[in-house]
A = this chain, B = another copy of it.
Amino acid sequence: MQVKSLVAVAGGGLVERRSFLRKGLSLGSLAVAADALHAESKPSAPIGDQLPRPMKTPGGGDAPYGLPTVHESKVVRTESRTAGFSVWRSPLQAQRGIITPSGLHFATHHNGVPDITPENHSLMIHGLVDRPLKFDIESLQRYPMVSRIHFLECAGNSAANALSITALDQSLGELAGEVSCSEWTGIPLSYLFREAGVKDKGAWVIAEGADAGSHARSLPMSAVLKDGFLALYQNGERLRASQGYPMRLFMPGWEGNVNVKWLHRLEVVDGPAFTKDESGLYSQVLSNGQIERFAFHMEVKSVITHPSGTQQMPQAHGFYEISGLAWSGRGSIAKVEVSTDGGQSWALANLHGPVLDRAFTRFSIPWQWNGKKAVLMSRATDTTGRVQPTRQSWKARYAAHSFNHYNAIQAWAVGKNGRVENTYA
């Protein structure tokens, strides 16, 4: 394969996508000449000997509910646990596209996963309403539903990068895998609140889960009526137990724990309850000593998924596609810039459609690696104009021990040997 010239768009080998597509791939020799393949088979051998083994015997069976192949058994979530608190991180470095399969969706449990029999579960709406109501699953199934592709991110995602003084040499999933994206289906909460009749003073809602942590959060009623829905389905099927089966609150773009799982109670109140969850874990100290409460939105963020931390690039130089995910709890992604020289120069990445509101957006850019040290970065901007901060600027805003809502630029150092490592560079 001959290497053709490409139009550079930034330092370090980032190339212009259209020239890249027009001029053909300058991939060096990724493919092997098929003559070599033919030479492997003896010309005198019967044709059957040249066929792959699976073509010579009937294949195996399938299952009523299909599972991943055993050859991909390493692609799983990783758990970290402290007391009853358990976090399952999604292997983002293995994901392509924008949909996270439900089996790999991140999960945070404050006191384990309750096993709820749907017939024994109901949702109560009470407090400052005209008519306290109780909804069982069968009746909820008759309501009009909406489906939305949205990301969901834990407030504490990327905590290690916020807290650790040196950059931990971990995979992307281990560092920032508390975020995923699914198609969620459910009933707009405005329908249910309209039936109950919210009184004038009903400005807030307390959402409580039926779990052993009795996780509870207060939400402004106006936001819930505008955007909130009662999610019953994820990626086309009923919720998994670890995602709140039989029902959860869903607030697009808001920090994960507000999307209360195993929801059984919505109490309309006149002000926030300052529950243990919102006064403790999910409040955050600023660098000036003030406390930031009810910071619901997850801010604009992006990560390069390919190549990423702990990966070994298979060849010392040549063509690679840099690819990653961007999202914002404030709206859609407007642009993503990529640098391979540690932020000295930047180029616009290609955004893959559909670019959806408060959803993962896939970006990519062609990269001709020269085999020298490189530092890869991505910087996303959302439709409100917000831009990802540097780590330094994020750290300046918060107290040293704060770690929630970390959305600083993620950098990957590429060594001459092709190894990729987390860096604060």
Contact = CB atoms under 8 A, between A and B. Distances in A.
Given A25-B143, A113-B59, A133-B33, A97 B66 contact: no
Contact of A319 (B113, B142, B192): B142
Nearest to A362: B147
26 contacts: A25-B195, A33-B132, A53-B120, A54-B115, A54-B212, A55-B210, A57-B212, A59-B109, A59-B114, A59-B212, A62-B113, A62-B242, A66-B102, A71-B116, A71-B118, A71-B245, A71-B246, A94-B237, A96-B236, A97-B183, A104-B237, A142-B321, A143-B321, A145-B364, A147-B352, A354-B356
A200 interface: no
A96 B113 CA distance: 24
A255 interface: no
A374 interface: no
Interface in A93-142: 94-105, 107, 109, 111-118, 120-122, 124-126, 131-136, 138-140, 142
Given A235-B99, A321-B143, A58 B75 contact: no
Given A52-B116, A99-B236, 13 more contacts: A25-B191, A30-B139, A32-B133, A32-B135, A32-B139, A55-B214, A62-B86, A62-B107, A75-B237, A94-B237, A99-B235, A142-B321, A354-B354
Nearest to A129: B34
Interface range for A: 35 or more
Interface string A29-48: 01111111100000000000
Contact of A27 (B31, B71, B142, B264): B142
A88 B95 CA distance: 26
